[in-house]
Structure 1
Amino acid sequence: MEQLLWSIGGFIVALGLVVTFHEFGHFWVARRCGVKVLTFSIGFGKPIFSWKGKDGTQYQIAAIPLGGYVRMLDHELDPVSENEVPQSFRAKSVKERFAIVLAGPMANFIFAIAALWLMLMIGMPAVKPIVGDITEGSIADAAGLQSGSEILAIDQRRVQDWQDVNLALVRRMGSSETTFEVLEPSGQQREIRIPLDTWRFDPDRESTIGSLGIDVFRPKILSNITQIAADSPAASSALAVGDKIIGFNGTRSEDWEQIRSFIAERPNTVVTFLIDRDGRERSLEVRLGEIEGRGYLGVVTEAEPYPEAYRFTLQYGPIEALQGGVARTWNLMGLTMNMVGKLLTGDVSVKNLSGPVGIAQGAGAHASYGLVYFLSFLALISVSLGILNLLPIPMLDGGHLLFYVIEWIRGKPVPEQVQEVSFRVGLLLLMTLLAVTLFNDVGRLFS
């Protein structure tokens, strides 16, 4: 329930902010061009809160939080006096209309820069991309990547943390190879070529990093019990917080990964654990439970502290943070355009697309992690919305921009009949896209 509330709240705040800035871009430039704005709406449908501004614009928040719009005066559709005609959107020049429409996506990019600037000013806790275990026989193993290596750059682009690594790998989806620059445990710095011809990445099942056979470095998990879940098999047994598991069914082992694997393979069976309690060994029988076909004990164990040498805070002063915000926004724009291109060529499956449910889950997760993580998510969503709106699809800003370019070349507007048919096709494409993303979201929920 708590995660659901985070998801709903995060979704409303995230989409509300990026949509507000998008529509404000249209609104601000329209006003500067002398266009009268009739309505500024966040959301669609029936207004749940509205007021009339001194400028004559009706500002409102509507019931369906899936977008917004700015309605401008149109002298060919609205009853206007002769004096009001110059304030009509359609009465403006092609350049002015182009600027008004382009301002929405541009506002999204500016918002992303501001969000990332604030994130870098506050400071984001991060860890260096130190490679953990390498899966035997994997792509990374065949390329010669060593456990304990620090990834310094991918394809000549510097990476600072695992988020940078993930974004760099997403950019290479559909490519034949990528190049890692690494600092090996021996202190030697070298370049590793990783072929991607056989790379198969399913985002529903694994991470980009994991799909190459790379494990993120994590501190060793110990077998000392620090928490016991309520109503769990452990809670129904004689196990207690502070116990250290040192064996199971006659096998002595303090390797938590081995113990966890043993538990997972034996759902609904009785297991004898050997524990160390206050320096004395005891044997305790526990009937394991089952979750999704796997054995379940219900304990949390202690982990070794994360090495301080691997931790750092990504934080800059105002000027450097602004430069970082611009650079990261530019990279996100390039990555998004790259992914759109790969979707069109078939290098990336439409199964990777997410819709409102996926956005809500992402917003909730990032909001629960803290402000800096939520700001990072806001920047990603804002850039995605800006790029989406620039696609030359009728009904989107990009479709209108395309018509204005054609009008500028022809010297006269695109015929109304052509525009009407195009808008219907655009609406069909958008509804199809929404259906596909919702189908993907629902499939992930029940997978």
Structure 2
Amino acid sequence: MSAFLWNALSFIVALGILVTVHEFGHFWVARKNGVLVKRFSIGFGKALIRWRDRQGTEFVIAAIPLGGYVQMLDERVDPVLPQFHDLAFNHKTVWQRMAIVSAGPVANLIFAVFLLWLMYLVGVPEVKPVVASTQSQSIAALAGVGADEQIIAINGRQARDIRTVNLLLVEQLGRSEIRLTLQQRNSLQVQERILDIRNWQFNPETESVFTSLGINLLLPQATTTLAVVSKNSAAERAGLQVGDTIQAINDQPITAWAEIDRLIKDNPEIPLNIRVLRDGQLLSLQATPELSQAADGFSQGLLGIVPMASPWPEDLRYTQRYGIFAAVNEGISQTWQLTRLSFAMVAKLVTGDLSVKHLSGPISIAQGAGSTASMGLIAFLSFMALISVNLAVINLLPLPILDGGHLMYLVVELIRGKPVSERAQEIGFRFGALVLLMLMGIALLNDISRL
């Protein structure tokens, strides 16, 4: 199966499940509050599959898998016979309507807890964040962060794996300092370092949050043996194969992957004589790197090879696994952390601490779904938990076209004792739709530029 089809299928599965959970939240609470649900649709456009239940609700799976909706009986939309007024959404109390509107995002948060609970019940492979070195004159180096120190807390919040440390560091964008708690790798000695981040520049498109601070983590190193030779690449045309160990390029002995990387990038469209070791035999091949454009806009060579990595140091790897009840607590804790981070990122977009060029759209989400699905169940569950939380947070934003906007109107109604005027709501919906379309357009353009 091609990468495109795999990404598309993974995207449809992930989004379909998350949208169904979201809309089921609205549906279930509406039914519990005596509202007649006319239609429950997963997707938009032409109905591919449809059926009705005993209460008259039409269930639909539609052709465009980019969302869904729950259509309730509401006399503000369609005429309602007097005998059915009690079944209409607009005739319910403010508190009931608030419960129905908020049920979608809440369902996504509960589902995220379930996904994370399942992950920690099975066991999550984790890696300790140990510093290998710091870059000269970097933020970390100036703060005194040294080699063989493990990060165990960020601003007092415990974080003993790379994934959690990464999330907590990103959350600090826009602040003036970060307080790192570090422990020597082979001792119990603990110390704190204060990172001055007033001039911190972080571009997630080109670097990790660690390297942006000048921290090089202790990770498996790239070897000179090939793990991947891309299809239809210059390397494949030259006869390079997975498992080949590069010994020399243009008679220059090779001892590290960095040397291979440099020679390929510095010689676009120039033939390179490559000596490889294959099954105990030395072979001489000639490969010509293709001309490609780097992220900085400059031209460079591309051969289409990926190196094997050395094994992880055993003392850095561990599996985080909990029992049935402890996994629930961990799921709630991780969901709260993701929710807090998501709201923090939205706030940083508003304040300008985070650029809108970092927004991701459906193409990036599809790629993320495909890559995590390829990595296995745990990675895919983690991805779905993150997207489920993001879906909840986005829907809670106070834009009138979203659940958060509806809640905002209902809060105003609760305070005033009467609904917001239809004219004000119409203006609000138009404004909300404009903002949402603008953000979606930016995200889609970002996706295309990344491609």
Q: Secondary structure at the match of 1:175?
A: coil
The answer on 1:41 being equivalent to 2:50 is no
Indicate whether 1:344 and 2:350 are aligned: yes
Shift of 1:34: 0.8
Q: 1:134 to 1:416 in 2, by over 3 A?
A: same
Normalising to structure 1: TM-score of the pair?
A: 0.91
Distance 2:291 2:180 in 1: 39
Q: CA deviation at 1:351?
A: 1.1
Q: Is contact 1:109–1:383 with CA below 8 Å preserved after alignment?
A: yes
1:5 maps to which residue?
5
Cα RMSD of the aligned pairs, angstroms, is 2.6
Q: Distance in 2 between matches of 1:442 and 1:205?
A: 16
CA distance in 1, matches of 2:5, 2:33: 42
1:7-44 CA-to-partner distances (Å, cap 9, x unmatched) read 21121112111111111111111111111111111112
**What are the superposed Cα offsets for residues 396-445 of structure 1, whole Å, 9 maximum, x if unpaired?**
11111111111111111111111112111111111111111111111111
Deviates more, 1:120-129 or 1:282-291: 282-291
Please state how far the C-alpha of 1:220 moved relative to its aligned partner: 3.5
Partner AA of 1:442 in structure 2: I
Partner residue in 1 for 2:411 = 405
Task: Tell me: CA distance 1:194–1:270, structure 2 relative to 1, closer, same or farther (3 Å).
Answer: same
Aligned counterpart, 2:334: 328
Query: In structure 2, how many angstroms separate the alpha carbons of the residues matched to 1:366 and 1:246?
Result: 34
Change (3 A) 1:391 1:244: closer
Match of 1:204 in 2: 205
User: 1:88 and 1:133, CA in 2 relative to 1: closer, same or farther beyond 3 A?
Assistant: same
Change in 2 beyond 3 A, CA 1:204/1:297: closer
Structure 1: how far apart are the matches of 2:277 and 2:410?
76
Give the equivalent residue in structure 2 for 1:430: 436
Contact 1:11/1:359 (8 A) holds in 2: yes
* Partner SS for 1:67: strand
Matched residue type, 2:7: S
1:157 aligns with 2:157: yes
Whether contact under 8 Å (1:128, 1:161) holds in the other structure is yes
After TM superposition, the structure 1 stretch with the greater mean CA deviation from structure 2, 349-358 or 232-241, is 232-241
Q: Provide the secondary structure at the position in 2 that maps to 1:22.
A: helix
CA offset at residue 206 of structure 1?
1.6
CA distance in 2, matches of 1:350, 1:318: 40
DSSP-derived class of the 1:418 partner: helix
SS in 1 for 2:418: coil
Residue aligning to 1:23: 23
Q: Compared with structure 1, are the counterparts of its residues 287 and 73 closer, same or farther at alpha carbon in structure 2 (3 Å cutoff)?
A: closer
Q: Secondary structure at the match of 1:62?
A: strand
Contact 1:272 1:283 in 2 (8 A): no
Query: For residues 114-125 of structure 1, what are the structure 2 equivalents within 5 Å?
Result: 114-125=114-125
Which string of whole-angstrom CA distances, capped at 9 and with x for unpartnered residues, describes residues 229-273 of structure 1?
666666666878776544444544423323432333223434455
**CA separation of 1:235/1:390 partners in 2, compared to 1, >3 Å: closer, same or farther?**
closer
Q: Could you list the runs of 5+ residues in structure 1 that have no partner in the other structure?
A: none
Query: What secondary structure, in the 3-state scheme, does the structure 1 residue paired with 2:151 have?
Result: strand
**TM-score of the superposition, structure 2-length normalised?**
0.90
Report the CA distance between 1:148 and its aligned residue.
Answer: 3.0
For 1:233 and 1:360, locate their aligned partners in 2 and report how far apart those are by CA, in whole Å.
28
Name the structure 2 match of 1:71: 71
Aligned pairs (5 A) from 1:141-290: 141-185=141-185, 187=187, 188-224=189-225, 244-249=245-250, 251-272=252-273, 284=284, 286-290=286-290
1:150-173 C-alpha deviation (Å, 9 max, x unpaired): 211111111132211211111011
CA distance 1:413–1:360, change in 2 (3 Å) = same
2:368 corresponds to: 362
Q: Distance in 1 between matches of 2:241 and 2:439?
A: 52
Provide the rounded CA distance (Å) in 1 between the counterparts of 2:306 and 2:275.
Answer: 17
- Counterpart-to-counterpart distance in 1, 2:227 and 2:361: 39
Do 1:273 and 1:285's aligned partners in 2 also have CA atoms closer than 8 Å? yes
For residues 319-359 of structure 1, the C-alpha deviation after alignment (integer angstroms, 9 at most, x for no partner) is 11110100000111111111111111111111111122221
Task: Indicate if the aligned counterparts of 2:264 and 2:289 stay in contact, CA closer than 8 A.
Answer: no
2:130 is matched with: 130
Q: Which residue of 2 aligns with 1:312?
A: 318
Deviation of the 1:275 alpha carbon: 6.0
Structure 2 CA distance for partners of 1:238 and 1:327, relative to 1, 3 Å? closer
Distance 1:56 1:81 in 2: 16
Q: Secondary structure of 2:142's partner?
A: helix
Question: Residues 317 and 424 from structure 1, CA distance in 2 versus in 1: closer, same or farther, beyond 3 angstroms?
Answer: same
Counterparts of 1:65 and 1:112, CA distance in 2: 21
Is the partner of 1:174 in helix, strand or coil? coil
Is contact 1:248–1:274 with CA below 8 Å preserved after alignment? Answer: yes
CA separation in 1, counterparts of 2:371 and 2:214?
25
CA contact (8 A) 1:41 1:69 kept: yes
Aligned partners of 2:412 and 2:382: how far apart in 1?
A: 37
Q: Is the 8 A contact 1:270 1:285 kept in 2?
A: no
Instruction: List gaps (5 residues or longer) in structure 2.
Output: 293-298
Q: Give the direction of change, closer, same or farther, for the CA distance of 1:274–1:424 in structure 2 (3 Å limit).
A: closer
Letter in 2 for 1:97: R
Q: Which amino acid aligns with 2:12?
A: I
Where 1:45 maps in the other structure, the secondary structure is strand
Partner amino acid for 1:217?
A: L
Rounded Cα–Cα distance in structure 2 between residues aligned with 1:61 and 1:71: 14
Over 3 Å counting, the alpha-carbon distance change for 1:171 and 1:305 in structure 2 is: same
Secondary structure of the 1:200 match is: coil
Percent identity, aligned pairs only, is 46
Q: More deviation in 184-193 or 266-275?
A: 266-275
Residues 411-422 of structure 1 aligned to structure 2 (within 5 Å): 411-422=417-428
CA-to-aligned-CA distance 1:254-301 (integer Å, 9 cap, x gap): 233234323332234344556667889x68463432252444556555
In the superposition, relative to structure 1, how do residues 236 and 41 fare at CA in structure 2: closer, same or farther (>3 Å)? closer
Describe the SS at the equivalent of 2:145. Answer: coil
Aligned residues: 444
**1: distance between equivalents of 2:19 and 2:318?**
33
- 1:423 & 1:232 partners in 2: Cα distance? 50
Counterpart residue number, 1:103: 103
